[in-house]
Amino acid sequence: MNEVLSDSKTYIEVFKEITQIKAFFATKNSSKPGWPFYNEELFAEVGLADAVHVGHWQTHSDNVQIITQEMVDRCRAGDFVLEYPDDIEEKKKFTSEEYNGGGILFLDSDGAITDIPGVLLTSMHADCIPLFFYDPVKQVIAMVHSGWKGTVKEIGRITSEKMQSVYGCKASDILVHIGPGISKCCFQVDKDVYEMFRDPSFTTKGIKYYIDLKHYNKRMLMETGITEEHITVSDHCTCCETDLFDSYRRDGSKQRMGGGICILPVVE
């Protein structure tokens, strides 16, 4: 499995064997309330205290952002970069004082892609599935929040396709880790939700409806050309494992666990 629990039990390291990037999923020991996911102690612990932070006001959308050099340069110069769609309500705009730590923040957004070293892409979760992407050939990363709504909207597919169209990634080079999230054991849904999935036939148990979001995402990603051997899937269920994870489904938790991925700057 492509995950290792840190000695401090504050995060699960993802893609540990890959030295060019750092990727993690926070446990309940380092989760935070509110949004976006921002935990300075954890960022320092994983060696990313100086990274440019990218966060989202997540809306279960299929919006995946491209992090540009211009945005990163503005951040490095001390600006807070706030991006939002033209039609977003006025009240959802807010100032850097209301936001932890500066960086780049997108409103109405659930994923980001970059090829710029030193940029920490984050997402936040309380059962929804984190998708970690890495292309070792083009040195491109992506971090995505894919709950059931995002999965129905196929945000994972959109991310894979954008990595290919914008960055010239070959699907056959892309590695994906489908991280900790609510698993089939716990994700019982109503029939109307069940029927929104293209092919939910593998998920019935009698008259109850269960969705396997991890499997569904894996199949979707394979349809974009990513190979099965390049996709790893977490065994962790955030709803079952009370010692390690917060869960909205289990106890209505307001705590949010962060996913993060960053290309490490090359030390000259």
State the residues that interact with Zn ion by CB under 5 A. 183, 185-186, 237, 239-240
Kindly compute the dihedral angle of the four CA atoms of residues 26, 31, 247, 219, in this order, to the nearest 10 degrees.
-30
**In the chain, how long is the greatest CA-to-CA distance?**
61
Query: In the complex with Zn ion, which residue's Cβ is closer, 30 or 183?
Result: 183
Query: In the complex with Zn ion, which residue's Cβ is closer, 1 or 185?
Result: 185
Query: In the complex with Zn ion, which residue's Cβ is closer, 189 or 240?
Result: 240
CB 183, min distance to Zn ion, A: 5
CB 236, min distance to Zn ion, A: 9
CB 185, min distance to Zn ion, A: 4
CB 205, min distance to Zn ion, A: 13
Query: In the complex with Zn ion, which residue's Cβ is closer, 106 or 148?
Result: 148
Task: Please tell me what DSSP assigns to residue 7.
Answer: T
Coil vs helix vs strand at 219 = helix
Cα distance between residue 224 and residue 136, in whole Å: 17
Are the beta carbons of 160 and 174 closer than 8 angstroms? yes
Write the CB contacts of 248 (distance below 8 Å, at least 6 apart in sequence). Answer: 126, 127
Q: In sequence order, which ranges of the chain are alpha helices (DSSP H)?
A: 40-45, 69-76, 148-152, 155-167, 191-194, 213-223, 248-251
Query: In the complex with Zn ion, which residue's Cβ is closer, 72 or 213?
Result: 213
CB 44, min distance to Zn ion, A: 31
